[in-house]
A and B are shown apart, each in its own frame.
Chain A
Amino acid sequence: GENVEQHPSTLSVQEGDSAVIKCTYSDSASNYFPWYKQELGKRPQLIIDIRSNVGEKKDQRIAVTLNKTAKHFSLHITETQPEDSAVYFCASQGGSEKLVFGKGTKLTVNP
């Protein structure tokens, strides 16, 4: 079945540093890759997404890259701030329309 692997499971960085989270998907038919941020006790919220016809997308301090050949996609956060601390989930969507989520990365940004 569809599977999404996400690494690392925890990531600790100093404020101002960059953070990178990587995901690998198994379904070749996957064509949509969103990223969600979940703060403690809150709902997951969509922060950025990328479609299969695009290799990179940026939105201020966050960017996502996609390598369809290798079935990899990554989230890059630059100039991290304490409020970036949260659990981040990658996900992929194929023909079934359901989103399959990675297991999450707990990001801690230390002041």
Chain B
Amino acid sequence: DTAVSQTPKYLVTQMGNDKSIKCEQNLGHDTMYWYKQDSKKFLKIMFSYNNKELIINETVPNRFSPKSPDKAHLNLHINSLELGDSAVYFCASSPGGAHYGYTFGSGTRLTVV
């Protein structure tokens, strides 16, 4: 059983398109995150949800909109894709609160052409 699963694993799309990435966790965790890993491998937080509520929203363009229908799911919708959006997007979850590491999903490699 995969603890944190993301779909799709690969996504190739043209500039200007709208796309979504889905994430689900079966760990019973309260908090979920989206991280972006660029070509230099830098991991930067984008959003965090705790029990369906947005708690962290870093400086991310409005074209990115997260949605959490329940605490086990956190989806990411991206409008009007740009070349610079090409990256690997990781979903992660944690029990919430301090002193807990994250469990990452397998990542979605987004390529905008």
A72 at the interface (CB under 8 A from B): no
Q: In the complex, what residues of A have CB within 8 A of residue B40's CB?
A: 103
C-alpha gap A103/B42 in the complex (Å): 5
Report which B residues bind A (CB closer than 8 A).
31, 33, 40-45, 48, 55-56, 90, 94, 96-107
Min CB distance, B56 to chain A, in Å?
5
A-B contacts at CB below 8 angstroms, number: 56
Within 8 A of B (CB), among A63-111: 87, 89, 93, 95-101, 103-104, 106
User: 26 A–B contact pairs at CB < 8 A?
Assistant: A34-B101, A34-B102, A43-B105, A43-B106, A43-B107, A44-B43, A44-B90, A44-B104, A45-B104, A46-B101, A46-B103, A49-B101, A95-B98, A97-B48, A97-B94, A97-B98, A98-B45, A98-B48, A99-B45, A101-B42, A101-B44, A103-B41, A103-B42, A104-B41, A104-B42, A106-B41
Min CB distance, A32 to chain B, in Å?
5
**Number of residues of chain A lying within 8 A (CB) of chain B:** 25
